[in-house]
Structures are given as C-alpha cells and as structure tokens.
Amino acid sequence: MVTLSVLDLAPVPEGSDVSRALANTIDLARHAERLGYNRYWLAEHHNMAGIASAATSVVIGAVAAATSTIRVGAGGVMLPNHAPLVIAEQFGTLNALYPGRIDLGLGRAPGSDMATARALRRTLQGDVDSFPQDVMELLQWFEPATEDQRIRANPGEGQAVPVWILGSSTFGAQLAAHLGLPYAFASHFAPGEMQAAIRIYRETFRPSPRLERPWVMLGFNVFAADTDAEAERLFTSVQQAFVNLRSGRPGKLPPPRDGFAESLGQGERAMIGQALACSAVGSPPTVRAAIDAFVAATGADELMITSQIWDHDARVRSLELLGEAMAESRAAA
C-alpha cells in the first residue's frame, strides 16, 4: 500500500494571524503523528501573507520538538536562496537535536517573486542554473570531513541527512535519477509534466549509497468530509486562493464560499481544473476511490497530502477521515 505523508503549507486563514497559523501547524503535526502518517513537511515561501513557513528550518524545529516519532522536514528548501553550507549547518543542527527524524527536500525555484529573491540574497548570483552544483556541494558538506579540510559543516558533517529532490518539471527528475536520490513531484499544484517526470526518473535512476532503488513521492490534495457536498464546500477555499494568486492578488486563505465554482468564467475554471487536477474531494469512500485510481495510474510509492482548509478543526477531521479510509483499504487488501 502507498505510504501517506503530510505537506503543511502553514496557511494563514482570513481572520487569523501567523501566531495562530503556527499553533495550528504544531497541532496538526501531533494529529498526523497520532494517525500514523509517515512524514510532516513544510515549505519555504516568501512575501506571501497566506503562508507562515518562510523560516522553514525554524518551524521544522518547533514541529519536531512537539512530536516524537514522525519524520519532519522541508518540502522544500529553495536552495538558490541560500548558501549550501548554511543549509548543511541548519539541518545538521536539526538532525543532531532530533536524530533520524529530519528530511531535507530541495527545490530550485525562488519560492517568491524576483524582487523578494533579490532582497533575500542581496544579489542574484545564486540561481536555478547552479542548482545541480549547489545540491552536490550540499551533499558533500554532509559527508565526513577529511583531515586537511579547512571548512567544515559543524553541525552537519557525517550526519547523512536524507536529501530529496523536488520539482514540477522533468529537470528535477533527471537530477534526482543522476544523483540516486528520492524524488518528489509537485503534482498538487503543477501536474502537467508529472507522468513524463516519473518515467524519466525511473528509467534513468542510478543506485547510490543513499538510495538503492527509485522512490517517487507525489503531491496530492485531499479534502475529506462526512459528505461529498461538505468536502466540495471546503475545497472552495483553495480554489479561491489559486484564482487570487493567478490574478496577482495573493492573500490569506479565504473561507469557503457557496456557489464559488458557478461564479467563475470559463478560463478560471480551466485554470483551476488543470492546477488542482490531482485532488480527492469528498466523503471517505469518494476519497479512497480517487486515491486508489491515482496510485494505480502513477505507481507512486508515497503521497504527500496537502489540505488547504480554512477551518482548522475541519482540516484535522480531513486527515482523520483519510486515515480511516486508507486503513479500510489496507484491511480489504
């Protein structure tokens, strides 16, 4: 059976603030651990009022401190924004504090607009074109240091923090296969090249000391509720957020809105339909059927579940219903 994990974008709902959003993140992580999910990841985004995880490693530390068994990590750190040595030190520190529980997913997008990227970096010398070299440098910082090595990642050296390559195109698939690393595809918002990326990754994968065989994780939206109608209503929050983002009006996560789909134009409907194609929305039987079909079509080893639900209690309930549905699926198998 497919492994289930959680991607939390630390949403800041309308009517709330960052403090409440981060408290919700910690609470959701505890529930995910209780429900048996494998990993709990957070993502680096900047200059976005609706996402509270910009300081990703800090939030990962808070989540790891509040839990005890679930793996916690980045999905991901946008490496062009950082010197590889800094990330090695940060995640080496996290791994020293929470041994064997920390993951490091790496992306090559800025996680922001270019003006914000410039403010983060001061210059744009670190860019997407240097991503492969930066990944290899970062991997080297995690290796045991040599006697004559002048600069060391301390903490970091010798810790072998698990590193993942993230992507929404075939570029990351090729890099992950070449380096023998696990691969996570952002199908939860950019599924266009998903099948091509999976095929390239699996066909060209080279075993490495870090990974013997290909491992594919796919992002997948789940909005589960007691009824299909209630789940569809919850789903309107992320639909509104996508329309706002693509219209140049990003903001906090809107509350559900009855009749939202009917208010959209043809172009907006097509955009949402494409971006959120990899989604399961409905009651537990509906969600279970959608996930089974998705896994059958992709052969995914692991699903990274994300649920941008405005009401925190409903988001917790969605994870619970999904866990129950998949437990029934495993029992039936």
| pLDDT score of 128 | 57
Is 84 in a helix, a strand, or coil? Answer: helix
Whether 210 is in a domain gets the answer no
Answer for the pair 44, 74: CB distance below 8 angstroms, yes or no. yes
Answer for the pair 175, 132: CB distance below 8 angstroms, yes or no. yes
What's the pTM value of the predicted model, to 2 decimals?
Answer: 0.94
Domain that residue 86 falls in: 1-161
Whether 316 is in a domain gets the answer yes
Question: With b meaning 16 or more CB within 10 Å and e meaning fewer, what string describes 262-298?
Answer: eeeeeebeebbeebbbbbbbbbbebbbebbbebbeeb
| pLDDT score of 325 | 87
pLDDT in tens, the chain (333 residues): 899 999 999 999 999 999 999 999 999 999 999 999 999 999 999 999 999 999 999 999 999 999 999 999 999 999 988 999 999 999 999 999 999 999 999 999 765 566 777 776 656 565 557 899 999 999 999 999 988 899 999 999 999 899 999 999 999 999 999 999 999 999 999 999 999 999 999 999 999 999 999 999 999 999 999 999 999 999 999 999 999 998 888 899 999 999 998 899 999 999 999 999 999 999 999 999 999 999 999 999 999 999 999 999 999 999 999 998 888 766 666
Domain boundary among 120, 136, 161: 161
- If asked whether residues 226 and 156 sit together in one domain, one would say no
Answer for the pair 246, 267: CB distance below 8 angstroms, yes or no. no
| pLDDT score of 111 | 56
- If asked whether residues 266 and 127 sit together in one domain, one would say no
Whether 216 is in a domain gets the answer no
- If asked whether residues 281 and 142 sit together in one domain, one would say no
| pLDDT score of 103 | 98
- Rg for the chain, CA atoms, rounded: 19
Domain boundary among 144, 161, 178: 161
**Strand runs labelled E in 142-239:** 163-167, 183-185, 216-224
Answer for the pair 272, 242: CB distance below 8 angstroms, yes or no. yes
C-alpha distances (whole Å) from 105 to each of 8, 91, 224 are 14, 11, 26
Whether 213 is in a domain gets the answer no
- If asked whether residues 136 and 230 sit together in one domain, one would say no
Give the position of tokens 């075939």.
Answer: 170
Domain boundary among 136, 161, 186: 161
Whether 208 is in a domain gets the answer no
Helix axes 228-246, 266-275, angle to 10 degrees: 110
Distance from C-alpha of 320 to C-alpha of 308, rounded to nearest angstrom: 15
- If asked whether residues 109 and 252 sit together in one domain, one would say no
Domain count, the chain: 2
- If asked whether residues 9 and 131 sit together in one domain, one would say yes
Cβ neighbourhood burial of 19 (10 Å; 0-12, 13-18, 19+): exposed
Sequence-separated (6 or more) residues with CB below 8 Å from residue 124: 114, 117, 118
Whether 181 is in a domain gets the answer no
Whether 157 is in a domain gets the answer yes
